[in-house]
Amino acid sequence: MTKYIIGSLLLSLLFVSCTSRIKPTSKEATQKTVPSKTDSPFVAKHTDTLVKTSKPDTSGIYRLVVTFASKGSGIDFKTKEALDRYQEQFQDKYKLVINKDSYNWGREGEVDFCFRLENLKPALQQEFIYGVQELLKNNTLIFMEENTVCRHKR
């Protein structure tokens, strides 16, 4: 019983000692800390200064992410091979290299293919993406997203 009383006294002292006894000055009390509706997402709000950044951080954004999923029987390996062939044919046709980051995330071969496509002009990016869409349009377990993060990246 005494251990319980001593423990609760120590716990209450801990809570009381953690509260601030300093009252804010009138300047600190009236300072704006909540962002307004007109604030830009590219402006960092501090208590007394604004810091503007030139552009958002897009280091984790991929132009195209293709996700192969499964429902207990593995991924569609034929379509995966077809995607690899399409990428090789596109590279050969335009004499360029398309970098692909692969991230395995499941037990049945689930994988994300993440394409930055930063070395392609916008028209070629659209052509590549359209070709991938046509290749994957009839498959319900393969998902495509544009301008997003690679979800299963470790």
Contact assessment for residue 111 and residue 104, using Cβ atoms and an 8 Å cutoff: yes
Tell me whether residue 106 is in a domain.
yes
- The enclosing H or E element of 43 equals strand 43-45
Number of domains forming the structure of the chain = 1
Distance CA 104, CA 154 (A): 9
In a 10 Å sphere around its CB, with 0-12 CB exposed, 13-18 middle and 19+ buried, how is residue 68 labelled?
Answer: buried
Contact assessment for residue 110 and residue 68, using Cβ atoms and an 8 Å cutoff: yes
User: pLDDT: is 5 or 87 the higher one?
Assistant: 87
Tell me whether residue 17 is in a domain.
no
The pLDDT value recorded for residue 54 is: 40
The pLDDT value recorded for residue 144 is: 96
Q: How distant, in Å, are the alpha carbons of 53, 100, 118, 128 from that of 88?
A: 38, 11, 17, 11
pLDDT tens-digit readout, 18-63: 445 555 555 444 444 444 444 444 444 443 433 443 444 457 899 9
Tell me whether residue 21 is in a domain.
no
Dihedral sign for Cα 91, 61, 150, 75, please: negative
Domain with 109, as residue range(s), is 61-149
Tell me whether residue 70 is in a domain.
yes
| pTM score of the predicted model | 0.61
Report the 10 Å Cβ neighbour count for 98: 18
Tell me whether residue 7 is in a domain.
no
Indicate if the pLDDT at residue 64 is higher than 70.
Answer: yes
pLDDT tens-digit readout, 74-119: 999 999 999 999 999 999 999 999 999 999 999 999 999 999 999 9
Tell me whether residue 132 is in a domain.
yes
What CATH number does residue 66 fall under?
3.30.70.600
Tell me whether residue 9 is in a domain.
no
In the structure encoding, which two tokens stand for residue 64, read together? 């195209």
Tell me whether residue 37 is in a domain.
no
